Structure 1
Amino acid sequence: MFQIFVFCCLCCCRLVGVFGDELKSVSVMEGESVTLQSGVTEIQPDDEIMWRFGTNGPLIAKTNGVTNMFPDNLDERFRDRLKLDKKTGSLTITNTRAEHSGVYEVEISTSRSETKHRFTVTVTAHLTTPDISSSPRAPPPSSSSSPSSTPPSSSSPSSSSEVHAHSCDSAEAVLRLVVTALMGVAAAAAAVLLINDIRATRAKTEKAEQMS
């Protein structure tokens, strides 16, 4: 009886050594990054940290503190999304999606012990809010109304005023363009006359100097 009790105690101690912590829950919004802490302060020589997706699932990342390794047959959902900290062995999943939800397991192997931690990751999608700013559509006219009951359409004074104002604005814009063009032509002509006058004055001065 005593031997059975000792055996059960040893089994419990072994389980505690393997799963050092209880299952940790981590939540993240879709599109953001999440980091799963290994619990290691600094990886020592001969240490090895392995990450798996699912309990005893396929290997997705491994590091010994010097080299980070990702399997060639890595699941496409993790392709170019995993990062390993070479100092602590913590795993970061970038640009998370709903397909990244699940259980992650880290196995820490040292020269003295072997420990496992598990995490359950939940990726929550962003909620879309309905657009309430758009006004509701007007209901279609009733088919029961007869054509004779429809009053004849006539242009309202406000519509005429708007058309007249628009015409005035257009005319004013055209007038401004014409005035601007004329001012530009006048400025160019004045510049040409000024240059010609300067040239003529310079020529007279040079001729006078030559004669003297």
Structure 2
Amino acid sequence: MITGYNTDVRHGNRVFHVQTEDKGLANPKIETLIYVGGEILDSYRGTYEDLMAEHPVPEGAIQARMDDQHKAVIRDIKNGKYDVTPADPSLAEQSVFNDRPLDQAILEYLQQEGDTDTLELVLDEPMVPKFGEPFQVRIRARLCVSQAPVAGAEVTVRLMSSLKKAGSLAAGRTDAEGAFSVQVDLPPSQPGHLALQVSCASEFGNDEVRALITA
């Protein structure tokens, strides 16, 4: 198990305590808890199951994911995500899971500090994938500051599972307008939690979006 992070973040008139820890190789998850006044306000759970295929598992890669996840949550706090907190805990968890992630956290932090124009993924409507049904993936890649489309960015659509390695569903590149669309077939309901992950990479950075697959 790798040493975690603890950070106090002052935003508005509140102090948020952000705690990130590795749950260990027997449970390859990274958990970030957000506290206010000693009570848990929200949580985020990432995974590094895809790294388990490597022997030994690279600790440096796990540490990098912890660092990215921790900084991404701090970024969300500073951006006002928790200025209004969902009353329903399940809605809060769903919101966290669908956030633009984690691989772009450091670049986004730099963007906030120095107006670095980095890639971001945009959804025209929320992703609501369902078990056993075809799903049309539609995303747009653009730059954060200038809003210019990013053409030719590599896009990968994967099926994420809490019980097994991620599987690839589709891949391609964004068009001249930064758009990408593909239909994927989703599996029937199965044990564990499944999510659809859309990742995008270009010379301007990386970004991804995720959505839980529901019945």
Q: Do these two structures clear the TM 0.5 threshold for a shared fold by scoring above it?
A: no
Higher relative strand content? 2
Kindly name which structure, 1 or 2, has the bigger radius of gyration based on alpha carbons.
Answer: 1
- TM-score after normalising by structure 2: 0.32
- Taking structure 1 as the reference length, what is the TM-score of the superposition? 0.32
